Structure 1
Amino acid sequence: MEQPLPEQPKQGMLGTIWNWFKEDKVFLVSFILAVIFIIFGNAHFTTKFFDYKVIVTVFALMLVVAGFRDTGLLRHFGQTLVNRSKNTRQLVRFTTMLSFISSIFFTNDVAILTMLPLYLILTKNIKNRRSVYLGASFILPAVHLGSGLLPSGNPHNLYLYSFFKIPTFDFLKGTGLMFIAGFIMLNLACFFIAKDPIEIDTHVNHFRHRHTFVYVILMILMIAAVLHGDKILLYIAAAIVAVTVFFYQRKLFKQVDYHLLLTFVCFFIIVGNISTITVLTNFLRPFFQSVSGSFLGTIIVSQGISNIPASVLIAPFTTHGLAVVLGADVGGIGTIMASMATLIFYKVMTLQAFAERKGFVRYFMITNTIFVIALAVIGLLVLHFIS
């Protein structure tokens, strides 16, 4: 039997590594830029821009969210609600509201990956396709508006909450008003859906009760640690989560988005170096000196590079932390590049409804444009009211 060539394992390993890098284009670009800055710049790993606490916290929250996804709880609730839908409007409202509420705790990515496929399957035979397209497009603003409520709801909220050391009450005052506005907007939007009668009889899967209990406790622990804000407490909470998951369901470590964690590391290096370039900082800082400039600037920048990079990039150039938080939450809605959640939404939509992708994409673009403009106006009013 012939022995394999010695070069083959090495080539295979290099190919695997390269494929892993290519999986996430944002990470690949940020990694290349970070390496350039490390070689030619002044890479600082101890400056205020490199936040170890955020990396550790996001990692622990990813483990908890992966555990929740494994319980089947969210899908169970979704199937239970849609079974009670008597018409298309009810189905869309139930789906939208469950996406909105669940994203507070399960993050927008998980809410999309659970609710959108379920919605597309259930609406496959509904004749009024306009209502189906509209209903699908409501899910994206719903998960962004829901996940924006708490500091732990998404990575950029967590980063900005830590970077600006925003008092918890002030944070919740701003995000809470946007949350209420989002709830009203989403419910009003559902009136554009026709009340065509439907009959849905889908099997309701049971969720894993013991698993759910474990991850509810871990989620409460992490949220409490984030809101308390103490670095040592956060490290202890994250360690408890990691140890518990390791002995209880260690397979969940494979579900962590390591691309995102390393992207944060790369962004910290990039921004830390940019902050030392006086000419560039003097040019950028005036654009974000006002509350409205920080808010609208974050929304606009997010449309091109997504809201997480926009948050990390803009943060050093302004003192208006809450404006950047709300701008990143709203900025995740809009173009396909506005957020990772939007990319996931687009991929699921086109893969599961390929034959109708043009209809879904058209209403997706129209709805998201309307929402981002309306929420930009509302956000300015909210910031003016609380300032």
Structure 2
Amino acid sequence: MEHTSFEAGNKKILTKIWQFFYRDKVFLISFFIALNAMVFGQAHFTTKFFDWKVIATVFGLMLVIGGFRESGLLRYIGETMVSKSKTTRQLVRFTTNLTFFLAVFFTNDLTILTMLPLYLYITKHVENRKSVYLGAAFIVPACHMGSTLLPFGNPHNLYVYNFFHMSTNNLEFFKGTIPMWLMGLLVLNLACFLIDRDPIHVDTKPKDFNIVEVMVFVALMVLMATSVFTKVAIGGINFYWFAAGITALIVFLYKRELFKTADYHLILTFMCFFIIVGNLVDIDQITTFVSHIGSSSQGAFLGTVLISQVISNISSAVLMSPFTSHGMAVLLGADVGGVGMLTASMATLIAYKVIAIQARGELAGFARYFAYCMVAFLIILSVLGLIVVSVI
């Protein structure tokens, strides 16, 4: 009896471990690549390529962003804006632009998880389904282009910003992100003209949000943003550890359930790719090939875009960065590269999963226009990105 119970307990533990690995395919792939890199590299665990500032900051931002989601602020803003729509085109334009500007501060994943379900719910009775399908697809590039602007707009921006020691004081960072951000906004608004102007009535009333929670997490967001831009050390300890620690402590005391919502797979994926890069530098054939791709800003940009389609934009940014001096090209390549295949970014995959769950009966229609739009936006934004990296 005890032996049977012991076996059942072990089986349960092994099942949980497998589920943890299998739940996030990007993490699973990066984990196996890291193992292989260690086999073919020097199998060392040096922290030379580990960016602890990114890991600490991403964790702190996850808790803060989770707090904004729980407060209901983003949904309130979304419902307030779309409730003013009178036509399908106006609704899609409101949704697309709101998604774009929310992504500046709240990252791709949270913005998609807020705006896409709301959009699908509001448009479920709209008769012109083609326009609805297109509008849903626009949300994905809106997220990626909106989050381009700031260093903490998404994890790979933060990584590249820190890896290449970019500065916001002399506009080194913004001279690349602002043009791309503005052109992305222009392309999205031009795309909205593809939507028909059918009259609609949006039947939704904005729900209240928790003002106290919003104030708490605004303060924590300011703290985490400050840690991104500062290089101050307190008692020999970098400020970003203090910022992440204070954020974690306040969240633990005030709303500890947010720890369950943090994306630990993302942090582990970063660590896996730090290990991968640390071991790949010992393989001459690979370093020579990747360095050749990244020898020019155009090559670094296109290389990052294309690699993103296979292993995601976060992973491609980590992989390309040590082998090129063109940091802005890598950053913009990762931003643009998030648009395209489902594997191109977690945000794109989340969007598809939301549609599959919330609009299961129309998945074929959504998937078809989703594919059309991703290819079109990827090509257009890649061309614009090449222009930007060639000029700056």
Query: What TM-score results when the alignment is normalised by the length of structure 2?
Result: 0.94
Question: What is the CA–CA distance in structure 2 between the aligned matches of 1:224 and 1:206, rounded to whole Å?
Answer: 29
Q: Please say if residues 43 and 272 of structure 1, whose CA atoms lie closer than 8 Å, have aligned partners that are also in contact.
A: no
Question: What is the CA–CA distance in structure 1 between the aligned matches of 2:36 and 2:299, rounded to whole Å?
Answer: 30
How far did residue 10 of structure 1 move? 2.0
Using a 3 Å threshold, how does the CA distance of structure 1 residues 281 and 2 change in structure 2: closer, same or farther?
A: closer
Number of the residue aligned with 1:63: 63
Counterparts of residues 39-50 of structure 1 (less than 5 Å): 41-50=41-50
Using a 3 Å threshold, how does the CA distance of structure 1 residues 35 and 305 change in structure 2: closer, same or farther?
A: closer
Once the two structures are overlaid, the 10-residue window that deviates more, 276-285 or 260-269, is: 276-285
Number of the residue aligned with 2:257: 251
Number of the residue aligned with 1:361: 367
- Equivalent AA in structure 1 for residue 172 of structure 2: D
Number of the residue aligned with 1:26: 26
Tell me the alpha carbon deviations over residues 298-340 of structure 1, each in whole angstroms, 9 at most, x when there is no partner.
1111111110111111111110000000000000001111111
How far did residue 211 of structure 1 move? 0.1
Once the two structures are overlaid, the 10-residue window that deviates more, 349-358 or 305-314, is: 349-358
Question: What is the CA–CA distance in structure 1 between the aligned matches of 2:36 and 2:337, rounded to whole Å?
Answer: 28
Counterparts of residues 222-241 of structure 1 (less than 5 Å): 222-230=224-232, 232-241=238-247
Counterparts of residues 70-85 of structure 1 (less than 5 Å): 70-85=70-85
Using a 3 Å threshold, how does the CA distance of structure 1 residues 215 and 23 change in structure 2: closer, same or farther?
A: same
Matching of residue 214 in structure 1 with residue 216 in structure 2: yes
Number of the residue aligned with 2:205: 203
Using a 3 Å threshold, how does the CA distance of structure 1 residues 95 and 229 change in structure 2: closer, same or farther?
A: farther
Question: What is the CA–CA distance in structure 2 between the aligned matches of 1:132 and 1:305, rounded to whole Å?
Answer: 30
Tell me the alpha carbon deviations over residues 187-237 of structure 1, each in whole angstroms, 9 at most, x when there is no partner.
111111111111112132111100000101111111122122446121211
Question: What is the CA–CA distance in structure 2 between the aligned matches of 1:166 and 1:156, rounded to whole Å?
Answer: 13
Question: What is the CA–CA distance in structure 2 between the aligned matches of 1:251 and 1:212, rounded to whole Å?
Answer: 16
Counterparts of residues 301-316 of structure 1 (less than 5 Å): 301-316=307-322
Once the two structures are overlaid, the 10-residue window that deviates more, 363-372 or 149-158, is: 363-372
Tell me the alpha carbon deviations over residues 110-135 of structure 1, each in whole angstroms, 9 at most, x when there is no partner.
11111111111111111111111111
Over the matched positions of the two proteins, sequence identity in percent amounts to: 55
Question: What is the CA–CA distance in structure 2 between the aligned matches of 1:378 and 1:132, rounded to whole Å?
Answer: 27
Number of the residue aligned with 1:344: 350
Large movers: runs of 4+ above 6 Å = 1-4
Matching of residue 123 in structure 1 with residue 123 in structure 2: yes
| Structure 2 residue runs without a partner (length 5+) | none
Using a 3 Å threshold, how does the CA distance of structure 1 residues 70 and 286 change in structure 2: closer, same or farther?
A: same
Number of the residue aligned with 2:87: 87
Counterparts of residues 282-321 of structure 1 (less than 5 Å): 282-321=288-327
* Partner secondary structure for residue 194 of structure 1: coil
Matching of residue 180 in structure 1 with residue 198 in structure 2: no
Backbone CA RMSD of aligned residues: 1.7
* Partner secondary structure for residue 343 of structure 2: coil
Matching of residue 261 in structure 1 with residue 267 in structure 2: yes
Question: What is the CA–CA distance in structure 2 between the aligned matches of 1:53 and 1:130, rounded to whole Å?
Answer: 44
Question: What is the CA–CA distance in structure 1 between the aligned matches of 2:190 and 2:39, rounded to whole Å?
Answer: 53
Number of the residue aligned with 2:157: 157
What is the aligned residue count? 386
Question: What is the CA–CA distance in structure 1 between the aligned matches of 2:45 and 2:63, rounded to whole Å?
Answer: 25
Using a 3 Å threshold, how does the CA distance of structure 1 residues 305 and 272 change in structure 2: closer, same or farther?
A: same
How far did residue 265 of structure 1 move? 0.7
Question: What is the CA–CA distance in structure 1 between the aligned matches of 2:128 and 2:33, rounded to whole Å?
Answer: 48
Q: Please say if residues 34 and 273 of structure 2, whose CA atoms lie closer than 8 Å, have aligned partners that are also in contact.
A: yes
* Partner secondary structure for residue 160 of structure 1: helix
Question: What is the CA–CA distance in structure 1 between the aligned matches of 2:143 and 2:6, rounded to whole Å?
Answer: 50
Question: What is the CA–CA distance in structure 2 between the aligned matches of 1:44 and 1:8, rounded to whole Å?
Answer: 36
Tell me the alpha carbon deviations over residues 16-43 of structure 1, each in whole angstroms, 9 at most, x when there is no partner.
1111111112212222332344566434
Number of the residue aligned with 2:7: 7
Q: 1:334 aligns with which of 340, 351, 355?
A: 340
